[in-house]
Amino acid sequence: MRVRLGTREVLRGVDVEVRAGEVLALVGPNGAGKSTLLGALAADLPAAEGVVRIHGRPAAAWSAPELALRRAVLPQAAALSFPFTVEEVVRMGRAPHTASRAASHAEDDLAVAGAMAATEVAAFAVRPFSALSGGERARVALARVLAQAAPLLLLDEPTAALDLRHQELVLRLCRERAHAGDAVVVVLHDLGLAAAYAHRVAILCAGRVAADGPPAEVFSEDLLSRVYDQPLEVLPHPRTGALLVTPERNL
């Protein structure tokens, strides 16, 4: 697959498979094409070459309402022009089901309540979205995506504005959705989080996939140091054995 933004080719010959029951992390340096790839997988950005298939069918063959029932997208930034409350924002995730009459009001209520509880935003359900901190907004935006209950989740840097506790919370939710049979694609900058929570990692570099596989197989010091143009060390955690990725420091 190739994707162009204007006259610039951002993705070149990228071939990625997103599988049900897995968390796929997209990692790589700034400008590598992670968000562009996520947009292409969501069918929000057209491919100049190649085909994006969702549930085995070309994305272009699905109507917008059909796509909304099959994939949910979390963009990097959430901005709203009107003073919606937190609960109203989360309930927006149920719009595809309401439009298609695919769910009852009771099912909508359960989905909204469950998503707000999972992301720990229920305590400020009646507060205006615009009055929240950046981290709180990020969790509300994720709750909206979870409430949508689509079998494919595409999350662009969902941990960027969060503290350590809520970063772990978000990645645990990703694993839970994968365990329930959904496919989850998440753009991450924290290689440690990717190593801990992703079943597979696609490492992007200059618009291409430099490696794709389980973190334990593709997170090598040589490859990561080359991709990030920074000496990195990959070490096992002394207690759990999980991979730790850290800059090489000679102090």
Residue type, 165: R
pLDDT tier, 103 (very low <50, low <70, confident <90, very high otherwise): low
Residue type, 105: H
- C-beta separation of 194 from 188 below 8 A: yes
pLDDT digits (tens, 9 = 90+) for 118-150: 999 999 999 999 999 999 999 999 999 999 999
- What residues contact residue 188 under an 8 Å CB cut-off, 6+ apart? 25, 26, 27, 157, 159, 194, 198
Is residue 227 scored above 70 in pLDDT?
yes
pLDDT digits (tens, 9 = 90+) for 144-184: 999 999 999 999 999 998 999 999 999 999 999 999 999 99
* Sign, Cα dihedral of 83, 71, 10, 171: positive
CA torsion 185-191-195-197 (nearest 10°) is: -50
Q: How many Cβ atoms from other residues are within 10 Å of residue 152's Cβ?
A: 20
